[in-house]
Structure formats: structure tokens, C-alpha cells
Amino acid sequence: MEPSAVRKRILEDHVVIRGHLSAVDGLARRALAGEEGLEAELRRAGETLRERFLEHLTLEDTHLVPALRDADAWGDERAARVEKEHAEQRAQMEELLADLRDSRRGVVEIAQELLDLVNALVADMEHEERAVLDPEILRDDVVAIRSEGG
């Protein structure tokens, strides 16, 4: 897959994920505002978001990380940072799953955790879009640095 196609695919997936994040955000805010009867729906929404986000990480591991490695002289460093962030996010998703399945955690705790997660993931996507999905980084034309004067 060409770098521009990788960029386009990841950005399209970000749009879909933002839709999921928005839905979870709205549900969590309703629960925090005191609306009753949302606990089961909130837990399911959290699990669905987790599954979808893990799919997204796999997409990025499969396509974005290799494209970054090949992008330029900083490619290996950028790819390593993305892989480190993905490892941290996978750990966060496993912690979320445990919390969602813990019946001792109440709706307010779950709602607040999901709201915090939504905010963190939105911030991460915005950073990723600036730092690694820039069209100057993921470009189809290779820019070669001449080793000779001229």
C-alpha cells in the first residue's frame, strides 16, 4: 500500500472511531448526569469501543508502522514511538475490560473512566494526525538527498 493510501485509510478509520468515541462520550455524560438504567449499556459500549480500537491498532501496526519505517531518516524512530504508544494503549484497553467486567465498579466510576478514555484517545488521534500522518511524512514520492555536490 502506498504511503498516501495508508494515510488516507488511517484517517478514514479515525473518522469512524471518533463516531464511536462521541457515542460513548454522550452515554457517559448522561450517566454522570444521573440518568438511570444506563449501566449495562455503558459497559457494552465500553467493550465495543475497546474491540474497535484494538482493531484500529492492528490496522496501524500492519500498515502505518511499516510505512513510517520507510518514510525517511526518522522513520525507525517514529515507528518505535507508535509501537510504544500501541503497547501502552493495549494495556490500557485490558485494564478497561477488567474494570467493565468488575461488578463492584459502579456506573459513575465506569462512566468517568470511559469519559477519561475518550478524551485521551481523541488527544492521541489529534497528535498522531499532526506528528505521523502528515502528508510530508507519508508521501509517495521518495525524496533522495544527494550525496554529491551540485
Give the pLDDT confidence of 70-103 residue by residue, as tens digits.
988 888 999 999 999 999 999 999 999 999 999 9
Q: Per residue in 24-65, pLDDT tens?
A: 999 999 999 999 999 999 999 999 999 999 999 999 999 999
Alpha carbon distances (Å) from 34 to 15, 56, 96, 145: 29, 32, 22, 60
Q: How far apart are CA 87 and CA 79, in angstroms?
A: 12
Whole-prediction pTM = 0.90
**What confidence score (pLDDT) does residue 145 get?**
45
